[in-house]
Amino acid sequence: MRKVLFTVLALNMILEGLTSVRLVSLPFQKEDFDAALHGGFVLYGYAALAAAASIVWFAKYSYAESSLALGLGLLLTFHICMVPACVMISNIPGAVVHGLLFVAFAFLFFNRIKCLPLDQENL
């Protein structure tokens, strides 16, 4: 189960990291960039960067059940909140991806004991 955990975390890091790079650099990509119109995308780019960078903490602190619960809970909350936000702006692919990541993180959250290192499961 620990391999599943780190596979989902890596997928999250890649998807959110690529999204972040694309959206944070939006002002440099668009000649007609308007902060009032496109600023929300840049803000989401930084939120995606935070979601991607949080994976680094899992690598270091994923051995403790409380840290794992906090991190997984934070990521599943982030992704479920992004589903209606994506639907509101008619970004259906984004809603689907965030919905799938929510399901994956919810599954991992409810099975977090199985995601601990083998020597920690029996404590």
Closest listed residue to residue 6, CA positions, set 59, 51, 50, 65: 59
**Domain containing 106: what range?**
2-115
Q: Is residue 123 part of a domain?
A: no
Per-residue pLDDT tens over the stretch 64-113: 888 889 999 999 999 999 999 999 999 999 999 999 999 999 999 999 99
Q: Is residue 121 part of a domain?
A: no
Residues making up the chain, counted from first to last: 123
Distance between CA atoms of 29 and 94, rounded to whole angstroms? 21
Structure pTM?
A: 0.85
Q: Is residue 98 part of a domain?
A: yes
Say if CB 64 and CB 72 are below 8 A apart: no
Distance between CA atoms of 11 and 54, rounded to whole angstroms? 13
Q: Is residue 106 part of a domain?
A: yes
Write down the pLDDT at residue 120: 54
Total count of domains within the chain: 1
Compute how many other C-beta atoms are within 10 angstroms of the C-beta atom of residue 54.
17
3-state secondary structure of 104: helix
Q: Decide which of 11 and 63 is more confident.
A: 11
DSSP E strands in the chain: the ranges are none
Per-residue pLDDT tens over the stretch 37-60: 888 889 999 999 998 998 887 777
Q: Is residue 122 part of a domain?
A: no
Q: Is residue 78 part of a domain?
A: yes
Q: Is residue 65 part of a domain?
A: yes
